[in-house]
Amino acid sequence: MITVKDLYDIVGNKIANETQKAIIRNNFPPQIAERMCAAIDGHEKAAHFQRLLQEYNEWLINQQRQQAMVQQFLREYYSSK
């Protein structure tokens, strides 16, 4: 589950990446700067995807756990009758 700290980290990383890209654009020729900035953007997208995948996996595990609990309840409920 995403926490407030996670959101602050996302915003902080975005600010740091944009600052880093601005420094790169000011210190390198345009063709090199754009490739370096694209690498930073790619890394950022990969990090977001990784976080999304982690959230999905946690959700899926919870769904499986809930399903197992319901099945166990139904087995016990109908075996006692």
In tens, the pLDDT along 8-67 reads 999 999 999 999 999 999 999 999 999 999 999 999 999 999 999 999 999 999 999 999
What pLDDT, on a 0 to 100 scale, did the predictor assign at position 81?
Answer: 66
Q: Which of 5, 17, 25, 12 is nearest to 45 (CA)?
A: 17
Q: So where are the chain's domains?
A: 4-79
CA distance 8 to 21: 20
- Quote the pTM value: 0.73
Contact present, 24 and 36 (Cβ < 8 Å): yes
